[in-house]
Amino acid sequence: MSYQPVVAIAGVTGAVGAEFIATMNRRNFPVRKLKALASARSAGNTVDFRGEKIVIEELTERSFEGVDIALFSAGGSISRKFAPAAVKAGAVVVDNSSAFRMDPNVPLVIPEINAGRIRDHKGIIANPNCSAITALVPLWPIHKANRIKRVILSTYQAASGAGAAAMEELVESTRAYLDGRPFTPKVIPLPYAFNVFSHNTAIDPETGYNDEETKVIKETRKIFEDDRIAIGVTCVRVPVLRAHCEAITFECEKPIDEHEVRAILSNAPGVRIVDDRAKNCFPMPIDASGQDDVLVGRIREDLSDASGHSISMFVSADQLLKGAALNAIQIAELLPQNAMA
């Protein structure tokens, strides 16, 4: 961008809010002025931004006067309440919640896939679900070369997906477990330390799918603009602080082998192949943490499909970066100046 926008961050004190600031700094995102917005209890505190102490203001409907870009990561209810006010004030909202993702008038954007949809915005652009982003960045270039007709994926989701408080709760509950002390969870309503459990979102009593799984299904079809894709997904939380992993098996319309997949992904934006069978070196959250790319490995033919149309792989990505803050900043970087009004 050749101009210097005024940027507001709604939810600046959260885990993603902190990553918004760090990512803007790392990518030299041009900012004329930063407005730090949060709840009333955080108002008056400060955040560091490029050598300055920015005083946090209470988020209200009057917070967006003079703002060009508003980055939201404060939850769906907050986005639904305040994003329209930001748009009315003249800002373009990049929203990290699920509030607007399936609105047909709101672009749902992963820049490596459908950056062209940014120009269709009417004031709000939605950031996809972190699990969807993690899967779709590597699946898209394959889909372009050989249409994917079916996907089965299982997620291994870190505490970072539930925010800074959940990350702290994982640390504290693990410490209590090792010390032999009782621990009462407050953020995640299930024992987290040394445990694995179904993603803690509401389950549809009819389908048996939880909200996270339903998001992945619907968002994949919207982003790929292909309602025919068959998708099965199981979302699970694991006791990892940061960076999600996913086991993915996909079926293409035409035969495909692992060598084709490696060739496609070796040149794919936002993807890094980590696939050393000899050293048993594959994507891990400890390596994905702090990285912009989606790590992809365990690329192999699906032996359950004798037709040769299916591939299995394992991926990992930083939920706070590509799964949230980085994707939003990439969208903001691509906002053409004539689309800001």
Q: Catalytic residue positions?
A: 130, 244
Output the CA–CA distances (angstroms, integers) from residue 48 to 8, 22, 52, 67, 109, in the order listed. 14, 10, 6, 19, 29
Q: How far apart are CA 315 and CA 246, in angstroms?
A: 5
- Asked if 224 and 150 count as a contact pair (C-beta separation under 8 A), the reply is no
Q: How far apart are CA 75 and CA 45, in angstroms?
A: 21
Give percent helix, percent strand, percent coil of the chain, each to the nearest 5: 35, 25, 40
- Asked if 52 and 25 count as a contact pair (C-beta separation under 8 A), the reply is no
What backbone torsions phi and psi does residue 290 show, to the nearest 5 degrees?
85, 0
The closest alpha carbon to 141, from 110, 172, 107, 175, belongs to: 110
Q: Which helix (H) or strand (E) holds 152?
A: strand 148-157
